[in-house]
Amino acid sequence: MWSRRQGRLRPTVCGVEELRRRRREREAALRKARREQQLVSKRLLRNDAPEEAGEGCVAAILGETEVQQFLRQAQRGTEEKEREGALVSLRRGLQHPETQQTFIRLEGSMRTLVGLLTSNQALLQLEAARCLHELSHSEQSTVAEACLPATSYLLTYLSSHSSDFIELCLYTLGNLIVESEAVRRQLLPQGIVPALAACIQSPHVAVLEALGYALSQLLQAEEAPEKIIPSILASTLPQHMLQMLQPGPKLNPGVAVEFAWCLHYIICSQVSNPLLIGHGALSTLGLLLLDLAGAVQKTEDAGLELLACPVLRCLSNLLTEAAVETVGGQMQLRDERVVAALFILLQFFFQKQPSLLPEGLWLLNNLTANSPSFCTSLLSLDLIEPLLQLLPVSNVVLTVLCNVAEKGPAYCQRLWPGPLLPALLHTLAFSDTEVVGQSLELLHLLFLYQPEAVQVFLQQSGLQALERHQEEAQLQDRVYALQQTALQG
């Protein structure tokens, strides 16, 4: 049967170096694709049962006559094993783009395959579905579009009772969705949203993970904000999605990852975020963040950032909604453990995934910007020094410190004395205008609310540090103002 996890690598064939090289290549390709707004990735379920391993890594490309022959055998063979075997051979051949092209160009081939997909022979049905799945993995949109006749059946089978089969249909749908707008244009009127809303009540983890995948592909579509997200928000899907993200014994990481990404695509499209806040998204995500921070302390699991990333993004974007400011919204996220959890995650990113540090700091900014409570937590939990350690990573550190300092003398008193001033003197030595500009803003607030800092600033050659920038157009006004303040102080 199909493996319930992602595909398998073959360590015997490819060494570690080779894997790393391939990963670097793929990463570069993905970055390029994203910049061109063509980021498409698919998930392939492929079972390499032992009896097939003998075939080696590469299956043969099939020609037109062979494809026809296998189809005929599958359709009209007398022995069930023979029919099944024919489809297995076809499926292996369809791993090749050339065979896929041959298949779709053959008249009646899809019709036959759909006939087999909808037959009452269970194992034939499965093999036919696997053939479709191989086709769905193609990077040619013509192949995806050739699968259009099958979509109504794939949707129908989502309400069947065979969880393996449902899982397969979902991954196939997810792959087809991401490849072609024509497929999406057909699937929406065919009722994919209600079908998914019914299917999400399945108790099977593998089905849920597959559903999350398919939904995430649907939500990434360019036309999603106008054409897809509104009907998803109108369905029961958001409530179920949030349920899958609730921490507890039932939380499954693979499932949670998919739905967290789904939520991210919905939220950053900004279609109707207050609705999600109304469903308790902020408190669910906040609790999940706490759970993640607990998990990173306990396990060496390198996969946690896959879940942490979308959770951070969702929280950050939701916090910008005006709805948060109402009594309901604000009550959902006041727990100062969120700040503690965030720093634990920042440390985790520092060690395992530094590229996610800016996203973590973004959340910190959004938490502290309008919240005296969270700013106070930063101070009372002694987090200023750890925060300063992240200065080389991102300017947002300075922004967060400004968020704290701008709240007045009570806050600046707690920032002083301490490592803040030496850190600022250090950043003033940078040539990056952005960094220096933020440092000047922070100095201004510090001087205003904590005048004793001025003396120490002067003693530590602060003026010289300022002078470096007095010719810089973007900085000179502020440099001058600070020089005046310092000299008068």
Partner 1 sequence: MQLPPALCARLAAGPGAAEPLPVERDPAAGAAPFRFVARPVRFPREHQFFEDGDVQRHLYLQDVIMQVADVPEKPRVPAFACQVAGCCQVFDALDDYEHHYHTLHGNVCSFCKRAFPSGHLLDAHILEWHDSLFQILSERQDMYQCLVEGCTEKFKTSRDRKDHMVRMHLYPADFRFDKPKKSRSPASAEAPGDSGERSEGEAMEICSEPVAASPAPAGERRIYRHRSVSELFLKPVLNMCSVLRILGCTWAAALLILNSERIPSTICFGQGAARGFKSNKKKTKQC
Return the residues of window 250-279 that contact partner 1 according to CB under 8 A: 257, 261, 265, 268-270
Indicate which single residue of 66, 145, 181, 336 sits in contact with partner 1 (rule: CB under 8 A): 336
Q: Please provide residue 2's backbone torsions phi and psi, each rounded to the nearest 5 degrees.
A: -70, 140
Q: Which of residues 163-182 bind partner 1 (CB under 8 A)?
A: 163-165
In the list 65, 105, 160, 252, the residue contacting partner 1 (rule: CB under 8 A) is 160
Among 120, 431, 459, 488, binds partner 1 (CB under 8 A): 120
DSSP label at 134? H
Which stretch, 96-104, 203-211, 348-356, 422-430, contacts partner 1 (CB under 8 A)?
A: 348-356
| 320 is a site residue for partner 1 (CB under 8 A) | yes
Total Cβ atoms within 10 A of residue 307: 24
Q: Which residues contact 277 (CB under 8 A, 6 or more apart)?
A: 318, 321, 323, 324, 328, 329, 332
Whole-angstrom Cα distance, residue 282 to residue 289? Answer: 10
Nearer to partner 1, 22 or 105 (CB): 22
Report the alpha-carbon distance of residue 138 to residue 478 in Å, rounded.
57
- Residue 468: name the closest of 420, 428, 434 by CA: 428
Contact flag: residue 70 with partner 1 (CB under 8 A): no
Using the minimum distance from each CB to partner 1, give the nearer residue, 64 or 301. 301
Alpha helices per DSSP H over 94-162: 97-105, 109-117, 122-136, 141-146, 151-156
| 423 contacts partner 1 (rule: CB under 8 A) | no
Residue with smaller CB distance to partner 1, 102 or 450: 450
Which of residues 327 and 459 has its CB atom nearest to partner 1 in the complex? Answer: 327
Structure tokens at 256: 């949670």
- Of 135 and 229, which has the nearer Cβ to partner 1? 229
DSSP secondary-structure letter at 474?
A: T
- Contact positions with partner 1 (CB under 8 A) in 357-386: 358-359, 362, 365-366, 368-377, 379-383, 385-386
What is the nearest approach in angstroms of partner 1 to the Cβ of residue 228?
Answer: 13
Q: Is 57 exposed, middle or buried (CB count within 10 Å of its CB: 0-12, 13-18, 19+)?
A: exposed
Among 445, 453, 454, 466, contact with partner 1 (rule: CB under 8 A) = 445
Nearer to partner 1, 60 or 274 (CB): 274
| Residues in Cβ contact with 149 at an 8 Å cutoff, skipping those fewer than 6 apart | 110, 111, 114
Q: Is 397 in the site for partner 1 (CB under 8 A)?
A: no
Q: Name which of 42, 52, 44 is nearest 5 in CA terms.
A: 44
Where does this chain touch partner 1 (CB under 8 A) — which range of 95-103, 274-282, 407-415, 422-430?
407-415
Interacting span for partner 1 (CB under 8 A) from 28-36, 62-70, 452-460, 463-471: 28-36
Q: Per rule CB under 8 A, is residue 299 in the interface with partner 1?
A: no
Separation CA 91–CA 18 (nearest Å): 28
DSSP 8-state class, residue 224: I
Name the nearest CA neighbour of 421 among 443, 440, 395, 397.
443
For partner 1, give the closer residue by CB, 89 or 109: 109
Provide the Cα torsion 374, 376, 381, 382; round to 10°. 120
Query: Is 270 within 8 Å of 319 (Cβ atoms)?
Result: no
Cα separation, 171 vs 133, whole angstroms: 7
Q: Is 21 in the site for partner 1 (CB under 8 A)?
A: no
If one asks whether residue 467 binds partner 1 (CB under 8 A), the answer comes out as no
Q: How far is the CB of 89 from partner 1 (least distance, A)?
A: 18
* Closest CA relative to residue 286, chosen from 207, 227, 340, 205: 340
Count the residues of the shown chain that bind partner 1, applying the rule CB under 8 A.
Answer: 145
Q: Which of 350, 352, 472, 483 binds partner 1 (CB under 8 A)?
A: 350
- 184 makes contact with partner 1 (CB under 8 A): no
Nearer to partner 1, 94 or 319 (CB): 319
- Nearest approach, Cβ of 101 to partner 1 (angstroms)? 22
| Residue 65: CB minimum distance to partner 1, A | 19
d(CA 409, CA 445) in angstroms, rounded, equals 9
> 184, 206 in Cβ contact below 8 A?
no
Q: Measured between alpha carbons, how far is 313 from 309 in angstroms, rounded to an integer?
A: 6
CB-nearer residue toward partner 1: 60 or 485: 485
Least distance in angstroms from the C-beta of 159 to partner 1: 4
Q: CA–CA separation, 452 vs 455, rounded Å?
A: 6
**Contacts to partner 1 from residues 219-238, by CB under 8 A:** 225
Binding map of partner 1 across residues 133-152, x = CB under 8 A, - = no contact: ----------------x--x
Q: Judged by CB under 8 A, which of 95, 118, 243, 272 binds partner 1?
A: 118
**30 sits near partner 1 (criterion: CB under 8 A):** yes
